[in-house]
Amino acid sequence: MWLGSSSCSLIVRPYEQRTTSTMKLMTICFLSLAIGVGHSAAQEDTEDEIIKFKDFKKRHKKTYNGALERVHFRRWKRRKAIIDQHNENQRNSFILGDNAFADLSEEEWETYLLGVTIPKGFINNEAVVDVLAAGNVTNRQTTTPSLDLRTDPCMPPVKIQSPCGGCWAFIATTAVEYQTCATSNRTKIPLILSEQQMIDCSGSYGTKGCNGGFYTQAWDYIMAVGGQASNATYPYRAVAGTCNFTKDVTPVAGKLSRYASLAKNETAILLAMQRGPVAISVATNSRFTLYRSGIFDDDTCKNGTINHGLLLVGYGTTNGTDYWIVRNSWGTSWGMNGYIFMKRNVNICRLAEFAFLATI
């Protein structure tokens, strides 16, 4: 275990009779009692919990120094109890898991995993701001009963943003990667573009590096400078730095021509998805962070603050329940290989409020 124990006995004299040695002994006694309390708490940890925590560390390649081991264990243990209680309820439509973030603090979740900040001009704006060519997204378009772009040859591998609050850059980049590949006449090979360029260089468009931003701000920047570099040219570092992109000098591998703000309803979003992935913003909660599989239908997030960006890459229906296929930027160990199914047509986690389609 992490802590040891000791005991002491002490006769406490009136204050005027206390010697220096007595005071030292009292201090030692109080420290011993504190350690004893810690040891009692440690004894409550079962052998099974210790074994499972070791497995958790191994699965996610976790290492801790000194007292941090105990801190992370306590967080993991608390989350594991929540996970087990949730999963025992067979009425729940989704499963939770002790993923790589189960031992982090809520503050670390916010700092390392999120990052969407809604521009003031979009808040309380009911108008549909359409900068697409007229007629590109219309009700005349046909839809399919289901769509899954995860297996599309132009869908790049799932990436991981942590430790950086730059989800906005990842969502913006994936849209450019997909659209550039899909409109190319060459063999459809997934592109891997540079999120780091967005994080370092788009500050004048309203972004704040690893401290937040919005995907339309990144797209405005891309259109202004003529394109986005490849990740090989401008690799990801997960920390904001000096911009190393020069317009008309640095080679670009991805481009964007326009984007549209979609009407705040899921029918409009579904129609737009016939053109490609749709960027959305959501209000996350602890269940979202610990999601493993199934259709996420926790409606408590509808009362939360929008704080994270995702990408809709498909939709379907199973056992009478409509769902979205949603791509995250937390790596393939999260959710279903980096994806989550979210209940459709109920504005789950406020996902329909700030939906955008980018095209070439």
Contact 255, 62 (CB under 8 A): no
Nearest to 94 by CA among 293, 333, 227, 259: 293
List, in sequence order, the alpha helices (H) in 96-214: 106-113, 167-182, 195-201
Active site residue 231: no
Nearest to 327 by CA among 286, 273, 268: 273
Q: Which of 99, 181, 328, 349 is catalytic?
A: 328
> 148: which residues sit within 8 A by CB, 6+ positions away?
313, 314, 316, 325
Distance CA(109)–CA(334), nearest Å, equals: 13
Distance of CA 294 to the CA centre of its chain: 17
Distance CA(201)–CA(207), nearest Å, equals: 9
Neighbours of 249 (CB within 10 A): 6
Q: Which of 164, 167, 210, 349 is catalytic?
A: 167
Distance CA(139)–CA(9), nearest Å, equals: 83
Token code pair at residue 179: 């659209």
156 DSSP β-pair partners: none
Phi, psi of 245 (to 5 degrees): -115, 135
Active site residue 308: yes
Q: Which residues are catalytic?
A: 167, 308, 328
